[in-house]
Amino acid sequence: MRNPLTILRQRLAAHREVRADGGTATEAGSILDRDSVRSAPFWLPPFLLIGLFIYGAIIWNIVLSLTDFQGLGSPDYSALDIENYVIAFTGGTPSWSSLTVDPVWNAAWNTVVLMVSFSVVCLAVGLVMAILVDQEIRFENTFRTIYLLPMSLSFVVTAKFWLYMYNVETGLVNIILGAVGVGPIEIVQNPDLKLAAVAFALIWQFSGYAMIVYLAGLRAIPTSHFEAARVDGASTIRMYWRVIIPQLRTATVSALVVLTVFSLKAFDFLFSMYGGYQPGPSADILATRMVREAYANGNWAYGSAIAVLLFIMALAIVAPYIYTQYQRGEL
């Protein structure tokens, strides 16, 4: 039995007009000859799967957040409302529970603090390291590989590693603090240091990524720009501050978007470091609050509402960048 697509293509090809130069005038039927159509068996199934399991799941989660589903039975979609979002911002006793629910402001604040501090320090450290590596130092490739290696580790491995590093008795951090007469200090369970400890560990893991992005940006700047600044008598610091760093704007924005998204995904790190999704109020972020409400408290719909807020936060970071890249024709 002949392939129906082949038969249709042959029939449409018979209607093509021959041009004076010997070619064929493309008609509507030639759409089947386009690469995108012929390659559809390869890209269409993954596209549909992504649409179903990612965007479909997002839509279902939004709808679920408008119900009072608590994890048992089936959600009731007949009476949708925004009560979960009201409770998320104001707190109180919802209609689906007899217990008072706290608002998410504390978790949201911790999320923003972690996101900003982690991203800004990562960019600063990565920029400094990129400038140093760009000076054609010896063993550049080895240094670059070693510094980038932590990024290949999972959040779980990084959390366990720094849990040991922060140990009061045997941790390297407290050994160093003790040597200078400051420590030892309880870091992991100290409410005043919890969030800083998490941010420091994540900076160690991902500053290598910022270094690679900045290094690529530095290598793309023409050598003439460096030479012109030196001819004008600019010092090294002034040259980088006034001439070189402003040209790294694109690298900064792209690295910032990726780093902020990484900070929003710090749930695995906190879960591994604190042995669950209750790191305490001083280190509680939206991701841990979301999972705790859904699985520990059985408030699935409320957890879904927090997930939607987290999604909106991520979208507010990523969407402007994608739109800007699209406007520039780089997508």
Higher pLDDT, 93 or 10: 93
Quick one: DSSP state of residue 279?
A: -
Instruction: Find the mean pLDDT for residues 115-128.
Output: 93
Residue 237 and residue 128 in contact, taking contact as beta carbons nearer than 8 Å:
no
pLDDT of residue 17: 47
pLDDT above 70 covers a percentage of the chain that reads: 89
Distance CA 107, CA 288 (A): 8
Domain boundaries, the chain: 1-30, 105-283
Q: Mention every residue, 6+ apart, whose C-beta is less than 8 A from residue 171.
A: 164, 165, 187
Q: CA Rg, the chain, in Å?
A: 27
CA angle at 164 for the pair 186 and 210, rounded to the nearest 5°: 100
Higher pLDDT, 86 or 73: 86
pLDDT in tens, 265-288: 888 899 888 888 788 888 899 999
pLDDT of residue 109: 94
pLDDT of residue 92: 83
Which two three-digit tokens encode residue 203?
Answer: 């900076």
Instruction: Find the mean pLDDT for residues 284-302.
Output: 88
Question: At residue 8, what are phi and psi to the nearest 5 degrees?
Answer: -65, -40
Distance CA 64, CA 235 (A): 59
Higher pLDDT, 297 or 112: 112
The Cβ of residue 248 has, within 10 Å, a number of other Cβ atoms equal to 21
pLDDT at residue 20 tops 50: no
pLDDT in tens, 37-84: 777 788 888 888 888 888 888 899 999 989 888 877 788 888 888 988
pLDDT of residue 18: 45
Residue 309 and residue 111 in contact, taking contact as beta carbons nearer than 8 Å:
no
Task: Tell me, rounded to whole angstroms, the distance of Cα 280 from its chain centroid.
Answer: 23
Quick one: DSSP state of residue 25?
A: E
What CATH class does 105-283 carry?
Answer: mainly alpha
Distance CA 229, CA 73 (A): 69
pLDDT of residue 40: 78
pLDDT at residue 119 tops 80: yes
Average pLDDT, the chain: 83
> Given pLDDT bands bounded at 50, 70 and 90, which one contains residue 308?
very high
Query: Nearest CA to 210 among 330, 129, 113?
Result: 129
Task: Tell me, rounded to whole angstroms, the distance of Cα 5 from its chain centroid.
Answer: 42
Which two three-digit tokens encode residue 30?
Answer: 């030639």
Paired sense of beta strands 17-18 and 24-25, if any: antiparallel
Quick one: DSSP state of residue 92?
A: B
Distance CA 308, CA 276 (A): 22
pLDDT in tens, 134-190: 877 777 788 888 888 888 888 889 999 999 899 888 888 888 888 888 878 888 888
pLDDT of residue 1: 54
Q: Which residues are registered as beta bridge partners of 17?
A: 25
Q: What is the dihedral of CA 49, 51, 53, 57, to 10 degrees?
A: -170
Which two three-digit tokens encode residue 273?
Answer: 């470091």
pLDDT at residue 25 tops 50: no
Helix (H) or strand (E) holding 86: helix 83-90
Q: Mention every residue, 6+ apart, whose C-beta is less than 8 A from residue 26.
A: 16
